[in-house]
Amino acid sequence: MSGVSLKCGDCGTLFKSVEEAQEHAELTSHANFSESTEAVLNLVCTSCGKPCRSKTESDLHTKRTGHTEFTDKTAEAVKPISLEVPKPKPNDDEDMAEGGDGGTGQHEEMVVPEVDQNLLSELETMGFPKARAIRALHFSGNASLEAAVNWVVEHESDPDIDETPMVPASAKKAEASKPSLTPEEIKMKQQELKERARKKKEEEDRQREREREKERIRIGKELLEAKRIEEDNERKRIIALRKAEKAEEQRAREKIRQKLEEDKAERRRKLGLPPEDHASPKPSTAPVVEEKKSSFLPVRPATKAERMRECLRTLKQAHKDDDAKVKTAFNTLLTYAKNVATNPNEEKFRKIRLSNAAFQDRIGKLQGGIEFLEHCGFEKIEGGEFLYLPREKVDMAVLNTAGTELNNAIKNPFFGVL
């Protein structure tokens, strides 16, 4: 169906011609236009005086403001103020021909507008009065038979629906002399408007993509900074822990030394020997040598987490030239621990065939890999063919410790370097 108007897709405004749409596009930078079967009206709100160019626009205005009374001035937009043509005075033919009453220019000759005669004949054949048919064709822009019928339906209640429209003769001449656009030119104009809309949309998409890229970069920087802070805090925590361990070792050594001194004094007392004179000078090197020797004595057994960490460090150092293999091994070990912790009742996650080629390539052939799984609770069964973790020996705390150590080894780029 051919349209009777052009509609702006950005603001919804209707336009009678391509020229009006172009002017609107230049003023507002809107470029999304399409054909519409909705006729252009001139409805004026009686409450606030806002003009509305369509029924849809007036309905929206009513919803926003509650104003319901509108005056239809569609016909007045093209109809002259006065339709009465004064009779010319004798010998005033020249003045009337010039478009004025005795040269005053107050009145102008009114004529019936030109319409498409073929469409007019079809409307009359359909039963429409001639005046109504002329009015419909004139105000629908001679676009099509369907547009004229739609206009009649929309304006059927107009009081002047059956009055023949009149336009100034000069306007008729100007309309006749004004070159009309061919269908090809109209299509070219519409295509131009669509092309503008497409380019504008592409530019907006590119702008949004740039904004998203900036946001991704910002988030990446924030994540890197957060990771750096977390690693700094972890290093500080480890240093503080080591200092506390050294202080504890120092206190333990001091208690042992005091106990030895007390035992020595008790033995001297039992033997009847005088108490040892602590004021006598002692070789200054002895305490130093004793301190160096005692510093290598184990004060406490290694914890499960430390043994796991040592396995991972051994694996990393043994294959320090192949980061991909090390990373694959760490991730595989993490998967085993996570599967058992998540599904402790599933035997398939607690039993590993040692001869499996994928297992051997990722963990079995790597120094420290199988030992790490044994620290998690896995045991060799059936002559060393399988690694098996019995259900009753599944320890969630141990598995969580394994997961923590593996995550630290994966995330810390300096793990196992020193």
Mean pLDDT of the chain: 80
344: confidence class by pLDDT, cuts 50, 70, 90: very high
Count Cβ atoms below 10 Å from residue 189 Cβ, excluding itself: 18
Residues paired with residue 110 on neighbouring β-strands, in sequence order: 168
pTM: 0.32
Q: Do domains 117-166 and 304-411 have the same CATH topology?
A: no
Q: For 95-134, how does the pLDDT look when each residue is reduced to its tens digit (9 = 90+)?
A: 444 444 444 445 667 888 888 888 899 988 988 999 999 9
DSSP 8-state secondary structure symbol assigned to residue 311: H
Which helix (H) or strand (E) covers residue 134, if one does?
helix 130-139
DSSP string, 200-229: HHHHHHHHHHHHHHHHHHHHHHHHHHHHHH
- Please report, rounded to a whole number, the percentage of residues in the chain having pLDDT higher than 70: 81
What confidence tens digit (pLDDT) does each residue in 26-37 have? 777 777 878 777
pLDDT at 25: 80
Query: Span 251-278, mean pLDDT?
Result: 86
Q: Is 240 helix (H, G, I), strand (E, B) or coil?
A: helix
Q: What share of the chain is helix, strand, coil (3-state, %, to 5)?
A: 55, 5, 35
Tell me: pLDDT of 186 over 50. yes
pLDDT number for residue 235: 93
Is pLDDT above 90 for 328?
Answer: yes
Q: How far is CA 391 from CA 76, 336, 349, 377, in A?
A: 92, 15, 11, 10
DSSP-assigned states of every residue in 327-375: HHHHHHHHHHHHHHHH-TT-GGGTEEETT-HHHIIIIITSTTHHHHHHH
How far is the C-alpha of 377 from the C-alpha of 365, rounded, in Å? 20
pLDDT interval class at 181 (50, 70, 90): low
pLDDT for position 281: 54
Per-residue model confidence (pLDDT) at position 90 = 44
The pLDDT of residue 288 is 47
pLDDT at residue 301, rounded to an integer: 64
Give the pLDDT confidence of 125-165 residue by residue, as tens digits: 988 999 999 988 988 888 888 888 888 888 888 888 888 88
Residue type for 220, please? G
Domain ranges for the chain: 5-77, 117-166, 304-411
The CATH class that applies to domain 117-166 reads mainly alpha
Residue 197 has pLDDT above 90, yes or no: no
Fold category of 304-411 in CATH: Methane Monooxygenase Hydroxylase; Chain G, domain 1 (1.20.58)
Q: Which residue has the higher pLDDT, 187 or 236?
A: 236
> Which band of pLDDT confidence, cut at 50, 70 and 90, is reported for residue 268?
confident
For residue 3, name the pLDDT band (cuts at 50, 70, 90): low
**Three-state DSSP class for residue 8:** strand
Helix or strand or coil: residue 48?
A: coil
Tens digit of each residue's pLDDT (9 = 90 or more) over 285-307: 445 444 444 444 454 566 888 88
Closest to 329 in 3D by CA, of 363, 361, 359: 363
Look at residue 280 in the predicted model and tell me its pLDDT. Answer: 56
Indicate if the pLDDT at residue 10 is higher than 60: yes
31: its two tokens? 């470029």
Tell me what pLDDT residue 180 has. Answer: 54
pLDDT score recorded for residue 75: 66
User: How does pLDDT run across 369-399, given as a tens digit for each residue?
Assistant: 999 999 999 998 988 889 999 999 899 999 9
pLDDT at 221: 94
